[in-house]
Every structure is written in structure tokens, then in C-alpha cells.
Chains A and B, each alone.
Chain A
Amino acid sequence: MRRHIPATACGIGLVFLAAFPLVYGASDYDYIMHLWITAFFYAILASSWSLLAGYAGQFSFGHMAFMALGAYTTGLFNNYFYLTSAATGTCFEIPLGSWYFVVLDPIGVSASPYSCLDAARDAWTVDVTITKPSLWFGILFGILVGGLFGWLIGRLVLRLRAAYLALFTLGFSEILRAILSAEIGVTRGQAGLELDPLFPDGVSILGASFDATDKLPTYYVMFALLLACIALMMRLERSRFGLFVRSLREDEDAAAALGVHTVRYKLYTFVVTSMIAAAAGAVQAHYIGIITPNILIILQMALVVAMAVVGGLESIVAAAVGGVVVYFLLEFLRNDFTIGAVSIDMTIWRLVFFGAIVMLTLRFQRNGLLYAFIMWCTRAGVAQETVAKRAAAQQPPGKE
């Protein structure tokens, strides 16, 4: 009976989350929807990091860098690439049938830059159609770039373990942040790169129209992305892939001696988790509308680690729930409260309380709060089975 609790809870949770935007009607609708969308974003990051660190034992601190790669790739795609029906003669361009794929010059940080496309527009004497490629191509491109860098970093860290791996990936993340900050002409640095919303022209769902700023369509996009990522990772976890990556986490040499191609499965893990992080970053970037190099500061990475640890590092679902719970907890901790004559200003103390919760979890429930519960449910019969079988084996023959 106990065994079915996690699946039942997941089912109820899914129905609740699927129905929430349709039934919630309070005045803070937009704020609550924003919290859910961002919580889903962190849930994707925490669960994919749990696959990388909890299952495969690769304690990478570069996960947010892959997220940022996805975000910046789609951001650059969204800002620099256009399709025109005539040659510009001023921009770098590639003919594509009757169209031209145009790449703008670096946009810099001036408020209204005069681009090569603007120059072409002034020079054209006939009507020319100018359009942006669908931003979904940018998102797809971001996912591929995330996977490519995941493969590259995976290759570089093949022989690194534990603290060395963590430091290496942290170094990669910091280098990327420095490049994004320094290349102001291209990325606009700390001024931030602006992106179109996910549905710039609005969208119609089942007869209801939503404009570009409505949160409901983005909620379902991020929710669907979360479910797709979890479904993919759970499928992988239950396949030979899951068995092999866990074996290499336990003992790489022993796994190799038993015929496991450890290099291949390490790389697979890096590529898959990097692509998932990049996907989350790309979608979130379009939702927020602006990205800066601060999205990959070490504090953000620490937050994702804390989410996975509080939920449960060795369970994809537990880590995802940890992401949602911790994000909402951080928001809840914004509320000031009073104990007797003492008034607590949570704008100052919020992170102190949060840090204390993480420390208490690590001290008393190292495997995470939710993972322990899942284990309690799913492994309920194992100890009894072991004892019963041993008792039966020790019983004298003929005695029932």
C-alpha cells in the first residue's frame, strides 16, 4: 500500500498543476503564475543536476553555464538573425532560395543602434519583406549548443573526479561569465540582451486569445518542458543507461572491469544534462525578456545544488520537487514576522533562514527530505523479505 504513495502523490500533483492556471483567480494571479514558471525552471535545473551529480557522481558546478549557453544562444539568434526578401548589400548574408539569411553587425549598448539592416532599409527603393526566423529555432539551436559544450567539457573532465571536477567546471562557468561580460559589443554585457517573448504575436488556445505578456501560455510551455525533461530522464534512469551511470558513480574502475564503457556513459550524461539545462535557460530567457551574465553567478549554481540536495540528490522527481519547494520557500521567507517584541526584517534575514534549513537538512537528512520518504515508501518490503527468507533458510528441514 505504502509503495503506491509516491505515484499517487505525483498523479495528484500533476492534475493540480495542470488545472491551477485555469482555476486560480486571486488578484495576485500574475505574481503567483510568475512564481510557478520560475519554480518549474529551477525544477528542471535541479532534476537534471541530480542526474549528473546524484546518479552519475559528476559533481559539476558548470550546470548554470550550460543553462546560460542555451539562453545566450537563443538571445543572439533572436537579436542578430533576420530573413529578407532582397539582398542588403551591407550585412553579412547567405542566400536561401528566394530569401537572404542576414546576420547583423554587433549591436553594442547604444539605445537605438543604427544597424547594417537599417542602412539597407534606407537604401532599398522597393518593398522588401524583413522577418525574424521563428524563435523556436533559436531555442533549438541553444539546446544543440548546450549539448555540444556538454560534450566538450565532458571530454575534458573525463579523468577528473570530486573536488577537481567541481573546480574545473566552476572555472569554465566563470570564464563564460567573464566572456559574456567582456564582449559588450555582441552581448551588451551587464546592460543585458533583450529577447522577444515566447509568443510575440500572442497565441490562441482553445478559442481563448492571449497576448504576449499573458503568463498562462508560458506556464504551460515551461510545465510541459519540465514534464518532458523528467519523463526523458526517468526513462534513461530505468534503462541500461541508468544502471551503468550509477555503477560508474559507485566505482568507475569496477564498472569498466565488468564491461561498462565508462567514457561513453559519462559523456552521454554530460550531453543530456547540458541540453536539458540549455533548454530551460533558452525558454526562461524568452520569458524574462532580458538576460545578463549574472544568470550564471556561483550563487545561482549554489541555489540549484541546494534545491537538489534538499529534495534528494538521488531521485530526479525528488530533486524537481526540491526545486519547486525551495523556490517557494525563498519567496515565503520574504515575509517579515514578529515574535513578541522582536520584529524580523526578512529582507535581511531571508538567506540566513534559508541557509539554516539547508544545513539542518544536510545534518539530519543527508539524502534529502523527499528522497527519504520515497525510499520509505518504495523499499518498505525489502527488509522484511530479507529477514523472512533468511529465517526460512535457517529452519530445520520438515518443520513448517
Chain B
Amino acid sequence: MIDLHVNGVHKHFGGLHALKGVTFRVEGAELIGLIGPNGAGKTTLTNVLDGAIKPSTGTVYLNGARIDHLPPYLVAKAGIGRTFQVTRAFRRMTVLENLYVPALALNPGKSRKHFHAQAMEILEFLTIDHLRNEYGRALSGGQQKLLELGRLLMLDPDIVILDEPFAGVHPRLMEVMYRYIHRVNEAGKAIILISHQMESIFTLCRRLLVLNYGDLIADGDPETVKSDPAVIEAYLGEEEDQSGTGTARLEAPGHA
């Protein structure tokens, strides 16, 4: 079973204390929302989890193995995959080549031919199979986000971190993304979803982590979190909370 254990992670950037002893655990195929205001430390935490930056102190264990000292390529092989806030499709490589990169990186003895059928199935699922031979740069912003998701399906990690997947995406493509998230989750993978779109977070996630100025201020089910005074204050400030508008911004769709 998937077991990610983040234990007391601190991260300092000079005088900035970006993460302050963040501790949480992901067990099994959870679908977790990671939310917080801008500058809360969400992307820093993601970078720590995928090995792009090392924590100042604290540890990260994945399935019993310590991974916080590993470089990103080994973290990816260990089982953590991510997308980026700003899309990072390989723009001067074809869509199919984009998908082959993680497949070949994980399987040294195999060729592209071996993964062609799998790549085509993924592209069809993501509704961008007609673009398979186009360069990444020829795709729209939303299609490039789908391409990033496709690469993660080829990587097939235990834990998928999606950083703002819905930002600036057409509703029709968002439906595809929803189907993607369900597919990955039903395949037994854990998902950490970072988004400012509360509607999507409340629709999809069964557990929320809330970061504020590097502190993990809440960890629980959406109903509990949205009524947590610390969360409301973090999002809207004390004054607005007292005015009674605080909970409205964190309401689940259909309940506002």
C-alpha cells in the first residue's frame, strides 16, 4: 500500500522560512487537496516532495524508503510524479516523444516501439490522439496540460501531484481532467491536487491540507476544514471572517 510520510519538514530560503515543520501522511489511494493562499508554500512543498529542493530539516519517506535526499529522477523512479504550475511540455518534441521520455527513462532495456500502443491509448483517452505527431508547441495551453498528464500516465507513479491543473483550461478539457483524476485514483494511486479552484477541490477531494505561510494549519475532510476558523482567517483575514463572508469562499459547490 502507498505510504508517504512527510515528517517535520522545514525549508529556509535565506531569511524566509517557507515551510515550518510540515507533517502529514498519505496512506493508500487518497485524493487530497492541497490549498492555501498565494505564497503559502504549496509549490515549495511540491518541490521538496519531488526532490527538486532539499528540505533544511525533516524527512520524507515513501513506502518505507527515505527519499528527501534523492535527486528528482530517482524520486520519479521511486514513485512520485508531478505536473508544474506553468505548463512544461517539451515544446520542440512531438506529442508521442513527450510520452516516450518517462517510459524509456523507467525502462532502460525497452524501445519506443514497445510503448507505442500504450501511448496511443493514453492520447485517445486524453482526446489529443490526433495531435500525436505535432510538436508540443503546436498545442494549446489546455492541450499542453493534458500532455503533461499523459506523461504522468506513462510514468505511472504511486503518488501524482497536480499543480494547478485547471488554471486557464476550457470546461470541455476540464471534464477530461476530471476523468483522468478518477482513472488514476481508481487505479490505486494517490493524488495530491493543488488548485485555487475551490469548486474542483471540493468536488474531487475527500481530504484537504491547508498551508499558510509555511504552516500546515489544517488537515481533514472538506466539511471540517472549511469551517475551521484558522483556515477562514488565512483565506480571508479576520475582519472579513467576522463579517460573515468567510465561509462562503470555502463552500462546496451547491452549498454556497
Contacts and interface: CB of A to CB of B under 8 A. Distances in A.
B84 A240 contact: no
Nearest to A260: B105
A253 B133 CA distance: 24
Nearest to A390: B130
A247 B90 contact: yes
B88 A382 contact: no
Contact of B133 (A246, A314, A385, A390): A385
A312 to B, nearest CB: 13
Nearest to A381: B133
B100 interface: yes
Contacts of A259: 73, 76-77, 102, 105-106, 155
7 contacts: A244-B104, A244-B105, A249-B92, A256-B52, A257-B72, A263-B71, A385-B133
B93 interface: yes
Given A240-B105, A386-B134, 10 more contacts: A246-B92, A246-B93, A253-B72, A253-B84, A256-B76, A257-B52, A257-B82, A259-B102, A263-B71, A385-B130
Interface in A230-283: 240, 243-244, 246-247, 249-251, 253-263
Interface of A: 240, 243-244, 246-247, 249-251, 253-263, 314, 379, 382, 385-386, 389-390, 393
B151 interface: yes
Interface of B: 50-52, 71-73, 76-77, 81-82, 84, 88, 90-93, 97, 100-102, 104-106, 108, 112, 129-131, 133-134, 136, 151, 155
Contacts of A250: 90-93, 136
A257 B50 contact: yes
B90 A251 contact: yes
A243 B100 contact: yes
Contacts of B50: 257
A175 B70 CA distance: 36
B129 A258 contact: no
B107 to A, nearest CB: 10
Contacts of B91: 250
Q: Most chain-B CB neighbours within 10 Å: which of A250, A258, A385, A389?
A: A258
Contacts of B84: 253-254, 257
Nearest to A379: B133
A244 B101 contact: yes
Contacts of B108: 240
Contacts of A253: 52, 72, 84, 88
Contacts of A390: 130
A83 B7 CA distance: 66
Contacts of B155: 258-259
